Amino acid sequence: MLSKKVENALNEQINAEFFSAYLYLSMSAYLNDISLTGFANWMRAQYEEEKFHAMKMYDYVLERGGKVKLEAIAAPKHDWNDIIDVFEDVLKHEQHVTRLINDLMSLSIDEKDHATVNFLQWFVDEQVEEEATVSDILAQLKLVEGKGSGLFMLDREAAQRKFSEPAE
């Protein structure tokens, strides 16, 4: 059984994961609007991944006898200056999510909830990968100054991304 503190924190994180999905879907729409359909696809895959994260936590709360409490999702940003601005926001957002996951892990340790600590380790590892991937893309976008044939090539590469649920 989950402590009320951990249950509440997991519910807050579920909301944060759904907000992340909503943010990436908004970014996908923006990128479609500026004809970067490959990067729009990349964000759409990111949207699917964030929904998966939210549902993984949702199922965990239920499995541990907790109550899921869904809250309103804040409206995401709609406009950016350019593709570099988008990915700078993605990196900031992923760093924010990392802090949230770390805080949730610390709370679970304090509550001596070893099952939740074990469960959250997957998310800790996932955040390391998320930040590294976004940092690499951002560095590449900056190398090509977010334009020209370099941007075209990166957009084509981003179009190849497909979401598939990770093996447990």
User: How far is it, in rounded angstroms, from Cα 13 to Cα 94?
Assistant: 13
User: How far is it, in rounded angstroms, from Cα 147 to Cα 143?
Assistant: 10
> What would the pLDDT profile of 126-142 be if each residue is shown by its tens digit?
999 999 999 999 999 99
Closest Cα partner for 127 from 150, 104, 107, 154? 104
pLDDT for res 17: 98
| Inter-residue contact 146 to 82 (CB < 8 Å) | yes
Q: Which residue has the tokens 């004809």?
A: 35
pTM for the model:
0.95
pLDDT for res 90: 98
**Is pLDDT at 27 greater than 80 in this prediction?**
yes
User: How far is it, in rounded angstroms, from Cα 111 to Cα 100?
Assistant: 16
| Inter-residue contact 116 to 108 (CB < 8 Å) | yes
pLDDT for res 165: 85
pLDDT band per the 50, 70, 90 thresholds, residue 120: very high
Sign, CA dihedral 118-98-128-55, equals positive
The CATH homologous superfamily of the domain defined by 4-158? Ferritin, core subunit, four-helix bundle (1.20.1260.10)
> What would the pLDDT profile of 79-96 be if each residue is shown by its tens digit?
999 999 999 999 999 999
pLDDT for res 29: 98
pLDDT band per the 50, 70, 90 thresholds, residue 71: very high
Q: What is the mean pLDDT of the chain?
A: 97
pLDDT for res 135: 98
**Is pLDDT at 168 greater than 80 in this prediction?**
no
Average pLDDT for residues 25-34, to the nearest whole number? 98
SS3 content of the chain, % helix, strand, coil (to 5): 75, 0, 25
